[in-house]
């Protein structure tokens, strides 16, 4: 039924009309003529009629209630997207089950697992301290997280970083004891492991994390700061990633620990913790020293290492100047094909792989030409300011008049390295395999940049090593969830930008309206990347509008258990 205004001469009448389907077509029947439209408007008759009928319609009661400031219903809105998406991944990666299993022997009076998930979600969406987590969570609809306070987050972080009993400290590194977070990592790896899971190739990178305070009993130390804050205490955080880009584990050391000293203890731990039988270390030159390479060979471990082409005298002369022929190789990559020229060179009992990338060589030539052009312009203006510029200084020489000029010999020497990178390896693999493994390292550097961004979760106000370890470990769990989301998106054939994912998930909100003892739920429209994400994660969004209904007559039977991931249909947003 609907209202209709019917004109009759100079007057207009308000009618109630019902539409029916008769004889194969719609027919309209006048149910009642209420009166003249102008008289109803003047006397308020229509408003009285609608208000009287509204008592029989909850939707109209709800809308009209907002007009009465004394009886207005309670309205609240929370963000829904991130808890839905990452909550599903939290379940399916096994994070929730592993943590709850480890908590069975403990008697906490608050939901520790919910506190950890909330902290992990905060690392993904905003990052920062646990103090900010407590304030941030109020804007998100996180199931069963009501009532969590700051001291709960502090206690949950301390539990994650709590040292295991003395009898479970075998193969701990010299820098840190085995803790609860190590058990979480090992159990997560076991859940993901199958007959084809292989850790023969792992990648590790480190970053520094400074403290505004002391930084715990042992972790906070002065050292080389990658954040340019040498005046502050810091810690070193390492992340180990497998060949498929899955985060395997995290390590934490005092801030004065050098990178070259951590690789061997970490490898020894990996072999014990995850049952690795064959290890091939793939690392960049900053992680390796001569002593480390000797120790790797003593342990019978293989390695593929980048070397310093310009400063290593053996590489600079014997390897680069080798007259052997290059072999062309075509490398398939996700972004397309790459043409490489490779040759194997042996010098002083060592095996080197020399690689030349013509595309990179052309880029190096263009970059150098631009530098030389800029250098020439600056020399015409005056040369005193050029000495402090490292890009310029390597092409200059001093004249007899204590002035500077461009050195053609240095330009020619630099051109020898255009598009060149050199690997040193003792692995029993072909040159192509060595190159591919090293290129894998270059590709996972993007993951390391993501890890570092998530690990830089400052400020940290914790004053104990245990709580600091737990705080940083939540960032590692955030990295696990992000990688899993990327895998699901790849399987679905989508590749959204990470910033768009976070922004679009935050825009998905749900408002609750409490009125007269009943609760209404209104959801915003799913826009941007959200529909595709929810489909990839097999999540059914709640209805756009959910009205209160009668209570169920009986409890629904529990769902039957099934193997594999649960399958859900995604509703159209």
- Predicted pLDDT at 53: 66
pLDDT at 447 exceeding the cut of 90: no
- Predicted pLDDT at 8: 84
- What are 253-311's pLDDT values in tens digits? 888 877 667 777 887 788 788 876 667 777 766 666 777 778 888 877 788 887 777 77
Nearest CA to 448 among 104, 269, 229, 204? 204
- Predicted pLDDT at 551: 44
pLDDT at 552 exceeding the cut of 50: no
- Predicted pLDDT at 286: 63
- Predicted pLDDT at 40: 79
Domain-embedded: residue 384 = no
Domain count, the chain: 1
What crossing angle do the helices spanning 465-492 and 530-537 adopt, rounded to 10°? 100
The larger pLDDT score, comparing residue 319 to residue 151, is at 151
Q: Are strands 518-523 and 545-546 parallel, antiparallel or unpaired?
A: antiparallel
pLDDT at 165 exceeding the cut of 60: yes
Q: Give the pTM.
A: 0.71
Among 120-124, 132-136, 482-486, 562-566, which stretch is predicted with the lowest mean pLDDT?
562-566
Q: Are strands 280-283 and 302-306 parallel, antiparallel or unpaired?
A: parallel
pLDDT at 568 exceeding the cut of 50: no
Mean pLDDT of 437-445: 68
Give the number of other CB atoms < 10 A from CB of residue 217.
Answer: 11
- Predicted pLDDT at 79: 92
Rounded CA separation 383/545 (Å): 71
- What are 486-540's pLDDT values in tens digits? 999 999 999 999 889 999 999 999 988 876 677 778 889 999 999 999 999 999 9
Buried b (16+ CB within 10 A) or exposed e, 362-373: eebeeebeebee
- Predicted pLDDT at 179: 93
Please give the backbone phi and psi of residue 455, each rounded to the nearest 5 degrees, phi first. -75, -25
- The answer to whether 201 and 440 are in contact (CB under 8 A) is yes
Domain-embedded: residue 182 = no
Rounded CA separation 570/540 (Å): 4
- The answer to whether 177 and 164 are in contact (CB under 8 A) is yes
Give 366-372 contacts, CB < 8 A, sequence gap 24+.
368/411, 368/414, 368/415, 368/418, 371/395, 372/406, 372/411
- The answer to whether 479 and 451 are in contact (CB under 8 A) is yes
Which pLDDT band, with edges at 50, 70 and 90, does 421 fall under? confident
Nearest CA to 124 among 565, 503, 524? 503
Task: Return the sign of the alpha-carbon dihedral for residues 93, 96, 101, 105.
Answer: positive
- Predicted pLDDT at 505: 95
Give the number of other CB atoms < 10 A from CB of residue 35.
Answer: 15
What range does the domain containing 44 cover? Answer: 2-54
Three-state secondary-structure class, residue 348: coil
Rounded CA separation 269/173 (Å): 7
Domain-embedded: residue 42 = yes
Mean pLDDT of 40-67: 64
- Predicted pLDDT at 393: 67
Domain-embedded: residue 526 = no
The larger pLDDT score, comparing residue 386 to residue 101, is at 101
Q: What is the rounded average pLDDT for all residues in the chain? A: 79
Nearest CA to 93 among 189, 194, 199, 203? 189
Half-sphere exposure of 208 (CA within 13 A, CB side): 22
Domain-embedded: residue 517 = no
Domain-embedded: residue 385 = no
């Amino acid at each position: 039924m609907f209202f209709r205004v019917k004109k009759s001469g100079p007057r207009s009448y308000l009618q109630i009309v019902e539409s029916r389907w008769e004889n194969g077509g719609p027919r309209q029947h006048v149910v009642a003529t209420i009166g003249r439209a102008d008289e109803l408007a003047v006397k308020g008759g229509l408003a009285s009629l609608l208000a009287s009928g509204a008592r029989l319609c909850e939707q109209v009661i709800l809308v009209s209630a907002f007009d009465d400031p004394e009886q207005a219903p309670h309205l609240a809105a929370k963000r829904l997207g991130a808890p839905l998406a990452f909550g599903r991944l939290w379940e399916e990666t096994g994070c929730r089950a592993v943590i709850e299993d480890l908590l069975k022997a403990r008697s906490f009076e608050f939901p520790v697992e919910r506190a950890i998930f909330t902290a992990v979600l905060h690392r993904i969406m905003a990052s920062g301290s646990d103090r900010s987590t407590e304030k941030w969570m109020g804007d998100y609809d996180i199931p069963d997280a009501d009532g969590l306070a700051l001291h709960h987050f502090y206690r949950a972080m301390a539990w994650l970083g709590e040292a295991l009993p003395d009898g479970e400290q075998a193969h701990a590194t010299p820098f840190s004891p085995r803790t609860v977070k190590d058990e979480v990592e090992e159990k997560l790896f076991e859940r993901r492991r199958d007959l084809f899971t292989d850790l023969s190739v792992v990648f590790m990178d480190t970053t520094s994390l400074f403290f505004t305070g002391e930084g715990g009993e042992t972790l906070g130390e002065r050292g080389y700061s990658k954040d340019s804050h040498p005046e502050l205490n810091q810690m070193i955080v390492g992340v180990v990633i497998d060949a498929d880009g899955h985060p395997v584990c995290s390590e934490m050391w005092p801030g004065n620990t050098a990178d070259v000293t951590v690789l061997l203890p970490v490898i020894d731990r990996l072999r014990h913790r995850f049952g690795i039988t064959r290890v091939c270390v793939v690392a960049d030159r900053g992680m390796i020293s001569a002593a480390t390479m000797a120790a790797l060979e003593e342990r019978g471990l293989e390695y593929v290492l980048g070397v310093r082409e310009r400063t290593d005298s053996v590489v600079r002369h014997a390897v680069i100047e080798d007259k052997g022929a290059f072999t062309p190789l075509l490398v398939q990559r996700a972004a397309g094909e790459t043409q490489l020229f490779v040759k194997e060179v042996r010098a002083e009992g060592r095996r080197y792989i020399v690689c030349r990338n013509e595309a990179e060589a052309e880029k190096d030539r263009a970059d150098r030409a631009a530098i030389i052009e800029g250098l020439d312009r600056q020399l015409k203006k005056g040369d005193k300011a050029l000495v402090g510029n490292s890009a310029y200084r390597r092409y200059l020489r001093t004249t007899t008049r204590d002035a500077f000029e461009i050195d053609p010999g240095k330009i020619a020497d630099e051109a020898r390295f255009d598009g060149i990178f050199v690997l040193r390896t003792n692995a029993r693999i072909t040159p192509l395999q060595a190159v591919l493994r090293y290129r894998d390292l270059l590709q996972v550097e993007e993951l390391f940049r993501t890890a570092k961004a998530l690990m830089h979760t400052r400020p940290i106000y914790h004053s104990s090593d245990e709580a600091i370890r737990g705080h940083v470990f939540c960032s590692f769990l955030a990295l696990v969830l992000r990688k899993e989301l990327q895998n699901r998106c790849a399987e679905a054939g989508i590749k959204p930008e990470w910033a768009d994912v976070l922004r679009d998930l935050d825009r998905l909100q749900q408002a609750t309206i409490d009125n007269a003892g009943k609760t209404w739920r209104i959801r915003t429209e799913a826009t941007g990347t959200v529909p595709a994400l929810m489909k990839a994660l097999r999540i059914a969004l709640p209805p756009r509008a959910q009205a209160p209904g009668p209570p169920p007559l009986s409890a629904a039977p529990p769902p039957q258990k099934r193997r594999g991931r649960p399958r859900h249909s995604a509703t159209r947003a």
